[in-house]
Each structure stands twice: as C-alpha cells, then as structure tokens.
Structure 1
Amino acid sequence: MISFDLAETALVLGAFTVAGFVKGVAGFGLPTVTLGLLALTRPLPEAMALMLVPTLATNVWQSLVGPALVPALRRLWPFLAAAVLGTLAGAGILARSDAVLLSGLLGLLLIASAALALAGRPMPTPSREQERWLSPLIGGTAGLLTGMTGSFLMPAAPYLAALKLPPQHFVQGFGVGALLATLALGIGMAGAGLLPPDLGLASLVGVAPAFLGMAVGTRVRRAMPDARFRTVIQAALGLVGLWLAFRAFG
C-alpha cells in the first residue's frame, strides 16, 4: 500500500496544478512537467503511474474536440501506430531498468527540449517522400521514450512542428499521439506489475488541479506575450532536467 503524508499530497497537487498551467499556456507539457517535478522526490515508475489519469483526461479533450481529428489521423496514422508499439516496448524496458537512471534520461530529454526551444532552431521540414519513413521512425522513438520515461514530448513535438501542420491539426494530432501513448503506457505498466490499484486511484486526485491549472494558464496565455512566457517555462524545465540528470549521473 502506497501512502502519502500531508507534504507529499501538497507536492502532488501542486505539481498537477503547475503542469496544467503550463499546458494551458503552451498547449502541451502536462506529463513532462508533472514527471519532472514528482521525480524530484518519488521513484519515476510511481510518478508515471500518478500522471496517467490526469494526462488521459486532458488529452481526450485536446484530441477529440475540434474539426481536425479526421485529417490529422489520415496524415499521421503511421506516426501514431508506431508510437503505440514503441510505448509498449518502452514499458517493458522500464520494468527491467534502474528507475534512477531512467529519471536521469528524463532529465536529459528536458534539457534537450529546453535547448531546442530556447535556441529557436526548429527541425527542417521533411518532404512528403521523407515523411513516409520518418513518421514511423520518429513515432516509434517517441513511443519508446514515453514507455521508459513517461514523456511524449521528445522528439514528437519538434517533428510535428517541422511538418508545418495547420495549428488545429498540430494540436489535435499531438493530443491523439499523447492520448494513445498514455493508454499504451498504462497497459504496459499494468502488464509489468508497475500499476498498483491504489496508485491508479491516487492518480484521480490530480484531475481537478490539472484542469484548474489549464483554465488559469489559458487565461494567462490570452493576456500576455506567449513567446516570453514559453521562454521562462522552457528555462525552468531545463533546470529541472539538469537536477534529474545530475542526480542520476553525477
């Protein structure tokens, strides 16, 4: 039985509120921010189990609400299918690996994400011919990393941005990818015995603060320059990533 004292409960609720806030501002990042914060004090597999339900709930809304779902699925299905398979494979690696080293890998992903965003150098746009083989390759890689670390951000977000999809196609396409990868992660973790029922139920606690944070973040996004706030968020994620990487490899 996994238990939380008052301080740990406050940390969990605060992490989901902050992560929802970031998602409201940037349109993505809830699982990555949640894991980055929770992994500072809890084993990564526990943090991944805790973030499952809030991530599923918020991505159902992001992926299914809007007019671009069918076009996004038609364009991105090889990417999405490979992401699911990669996530199942990554969850199998998670069950056999050192959680501290995997939290260090999550830290490296956060550093890479922050560095790319702050440098302002996007991936080059692939041709349609290149996209045919790149989509399953990038999707599988993103899924593998999701299964090992819980974060679907890298390299999925930079790749989908490089495709120069219409904004709503990007939002719903990324949402569907994150939704399917999170479902596959839950299945893989349950199959590997990494998803105790009490921890799955505890994950429900994060739904309300995540949606509250999203609502506040959406208001902030409409009221201030988006680029400035994203810079602050990316810098903060980079610092969290440096700490996780230092703790694992230092």
Structure 2
Amino acid sequence: MNTSTLFIALVFVLAGLVKGVTGMGLPTVAMALLTLTLPPLEAAALLIVPSAVTNVWQLASGPALYPLWLRLRTLLVAVCVGTAAGGWLLSSSPPPDDFIAAGAQGMSSGAWASVVLGLALAGYGALGLSGWRGRVARRAESWAGPLAGAATGVLAGITGVFVMPVAPYLQALNLEKDDLVQALGLAFTVSTLALAVVLTCRGSWQVSSAGGSVLALLPAGAGMMLGQWLRDRMPAAVFRRCFFISLLALGAHQCLRVATG
C-alpha cells in the first residue's frame, strides 16, 4: 500500500467515524481532507459509493419515509436541479464575471472549487460553533425548501459537499430526532445520486473512479462502526465542538492555500 492509498484509507476511516458519532459529516470531512492532495472532482468521485451506501442505510432506518418524502419533495427536486447547475458552473472556465471581479481572475476551475469548498467548510464550522438554531414555519416551507435545496445542489455540484445549507434547514424544521436523522439521510441520498449523474455526464466518474469508490467503502464502514461504538462512550457535545473547530480550520486552510499558491 503506497502513501497516497494509505492516506485515502485513513481519511475514510476518520470520515466514517464522524458519521457514526454525529449521523452526518462523511462527505464533508472526506472532501476537506482529500482535497489537500487531490483535485475536487477526483475527490468527489471517490465519495460516491461510501456516501450512497451509508446514506441509504441511514434513510432506511427511520420510521416515516413516505410522509417525509411528501414534505420534502420540492427541496429534493431543487437539489437535483442545483447540482446540475453547480456542475455546469464548475465546467465553465474561466469562472463567472462577478467572481472574477471579486479578485479571482486567472484562477482555474479547480482553484475556484477549492475556494468555494473552503468557504463552505468554514461557514458550516462557524455556524455549528455559534450554536445557532433557526426556525422555519410550516407555511414558509413551500418557498424556503426549494431555495435551500437549490443552494445545496449548487454547492454539491461545485465542491462535492452537500451538507450546506440543507442540514441547518432541516434542523430548523423542528423535526423529531428520528425524523431528522431520516430526513438528513433522504436529502444526502438524493444529493449523492444527483452528484453521481453530474460526474458521469462530465466523464469524471468512470470505471477506475467507481472501483476506487467501492474500495473506499471498506474503511468508511469500519470508521462508521467505530463511531457508533464511541457515540455511547463520549459526550456528543464535545465531539461536535471538535468537529466544527476542525471544519473551520480546514476551510480556512483551503482558502489560504489557494491565496498563497
């Protein structure tokens, strides 16, 4: 096993551990660490199988799939549309004019994706550390859901991470604990499948990528089992705090690396 393969395996063990403890975070942690050595598209291609399998398991373990589907279907459709749009944006080179005007002229699409990923990770880490929990009224879900879904899809298409802003949005719906876990699994499953379609259409998820993604399931599954074991043996609040601090630091590192590169 060469150094690169060992690093990837360790990343998926850690990402699976985080998901086992918190019920989320596998693609977030994996993308944050994999993109230290891999281009964002290549890292996202490795995530497809581990994310899909663990999310389907999380989705199937909940009590009320059909009612959640009815409630969240417009959000899920918007995720698919946003992912396609994000994939198109990433394939457009140079970046959009407004991004160039902000100081990114001359950046490659890979560097642009790294900056967006860094900002998303840092934002999610800061939001988690703040302890902020919003509330979305039931009557507002008809427009707030599609907006959150579209934004999540665009970020997923660009960065391979589909936790923002759908995770805070779902938490703001005031769902029961089991329903929230299942809703996250549903949203992540649809996001993963949409991302797989986008990567396949772009030629970034081929046989070699699929094989590596299947192999990545093994360390991810081992990490998830370890995380589930740890979940009963350590305060969840402590782990979540460390998780969000790590995301904030990794996001800042991503942006700094591009700025100084």
- The one-letter code sitting in structure 1 at the alignment partner of 2:17 is F
1:85 aligns with 2:81: yes
Structure 2 match to 1:159: 169
Q: 3-state DSSP class of the match of 1:163?
A: coil
Q: Is the contact between residue 71 and residue 169 of structure 1 (CA under 8 Å) also seen in structure 2? A: no
Counterpart Cα distance in 2 of 1:13 and 1:155: 28
1:145-200 Cα deviation digits (max 9, x unpaired): 11111111110111100111111111111111111111111111111122232122
Structure 1 match to 2:149: 139
Structure 1 match to 2:212: 202
- Identify which of 103, 112, 121 aligns with 2:123: 112
Structure 1 match to 2:194: 184
Counterpart Cα distance in 1 of 2:177 and 2:138: 19
Q: Is the contact between residue 65 and residue 182 of structure 2 (CA under 8 Å) also seen in structure 1? A: yes
Counterpart Cα distance in 2 of 1:182 and 1:103: 19
Which runs of structure 2 are paired with 1:8-157 in the superposition (5 Å)? 8-97=4-93, 98-123=109-134, 125-157=135-167
Per-residue deviation, 1:249:
3.0
Per-residue deviation, 1:225:
0.8
Counterpart Cα distance in 2 of 1:237 and 1:190: 28
Unaligned runs of 5+ in 2: 94-108
- The one-letter code sitting in structure 2 at the alignment partner of 1:138 is A
Counterpart Cα distance in 2 of 1:41 and 1:18: 16
Counterpart Cα distance in 2 of 1:88 and 1:31: 18
Indicate the RMSD between aligned Cα atoms, in angstroms: 1.2
- The one-letter code sitting in structure 2 at the alignment partner of 1:144 is V
Q: Is the contact between residue 62 and residue 172 of structure 1 (CA under 8 Å) also seen in structure 2? A: yes
Structure 2 match to 1:245: 255
Q: 3-state DSSP class of the match of 2:232?
A: helix
Counterpart Cα distance in 2 of 1:204 and 1:126: 38
Structure 1 match to 2:101: none
- The one-letter code sitting in structure 2 at the alignment partner of 1:56 is A
Q: 3-state DSSP class of the match of 1:223?
A: coil
1:19-53 Cα deviation digits (max 9, x unpaired): 00000111001011100000001111100001111
Counterpart Cα distance in 2 of 1:249 and 1:155: 25
- The one-letter code sitting in structure 1 at the alignment partner of 2:143 is W
Per-residue deviation, 1:222:
0.8
Give the stretch that moved more between structures: 154-163 or 91-100: 91-100
Q: Is the contact between residue 62 and residue 179 of structure 2 (CA under 8 Å) also seen in structure 1? A: no
Structure 2 match to 1:211: 221
Q: Is the contact between residue 113 and residue 159 of structure 2 (CA under 8 Å) also seen in structure 1? A: yes
Q: Is the contact between residue 95 and residue 194 of structure 1 (CA under 8 Å) also seen in structure 2? A: no
Q: Is the contact between residue 49 and residue 195 of structure 1 (CA under 8 Å) also seen in structure 2? A: yes
User: Normalised by the size of structure 1, how large is the TM-score?
Assistant: 0.95
